Amino acid sequence: MTLKEKQQEIIDDFSLYEEWLDKYEYLIELGKGLEGLPEEKKTEDRLIKGCQSRVWLDCEKRDGVLVFSADSDAIITKGIISLLVGVYSGRTPQEILADDFSFLDALGLKENLSPTRANGLVSMIATIRSKAAENE
């Protein structure tokens, strides 16, 4: 599946839920399902600033693609991370850099989450982009 197709799939899944609380239920389920990071990887250098909750993002380069894994102490955030990891993990740096991350707007996540949360999301995206740029 291409990056765009994967994004569309998520947008379609998400649009099944009309009520915000149902969307949250869905994100909570995703969050619970995300494997997360082992404690020893939750280090200061993997911590993303700008969230009320803490988010750790780990990135490895394998066979030319970036593999992301991530964790958070808050479950809704973890659900959102799980979406991001699903879309961007296993992609080449070039693919990631070519994307404009607008699919998050299509999900309505940016404007409907609290400003601090949106900032966290923005920091998360910025981190993914900078990892891609470092590894280009």
Partner 1 sequence: MCDLRNEFPQLGRTVYGKPLVYLDNAATSLRPRSVTACWDEISSMRTANLHRAVHRVATEATEAYEAARDAVREFINAPEREEVIFTSGATHSLNLAAWSFGEAFIGEGDEILVDEAGHHSNIVPWQMLCRRKGAVLKVLQVDESGALRLDLLPSLLSSRTRLVCVAHVSNVLGLVNPVREIADAAHAAGARILVDGAQGIVHQKVDVQALDCDFYAFSGHKMYGAPGTGVLWGRRALLEQMPPMFGGGEMIQTVRWEETTYAPLPQKFEAGTQNISGTPCFVPAIECLRSMQQDECITEHVYRELSAMPGVRLFGTTPDLSRKVPVFSIAVEGAHHEDLALILDKMGVAVRSGQMCAEPLMDRFGVTGMLRASFAPYNTMQEAEYFLSSLRKAISMLK
Candidate segments 2-10, 70-78, 91-99, 125-133, binder of partner 1 by CB under 8 A: 70-78
How far is the CA of 49 from the CAs of 1, 14, 56, 66, 133, in angstroms?
Answer: 31, 27, 9, 21, 19
Q: How far is the CB of 34 from partner 1 (least distance, A)?
A: 14
- Catalytic option among 51, 66, 84, 96: 51
With binding defined as CB under 8 A, does residue 24 bind partner 1? yes
Q: Is 33 exposed, middle or buried (0-12, 13-18, 19+ CB in 10 A)?
A: exposed
Residues forming the site for partner 1 (CB under 8 A): 20-21, 24-25, 28, 51-54, 73-77, 113-114, 116-117
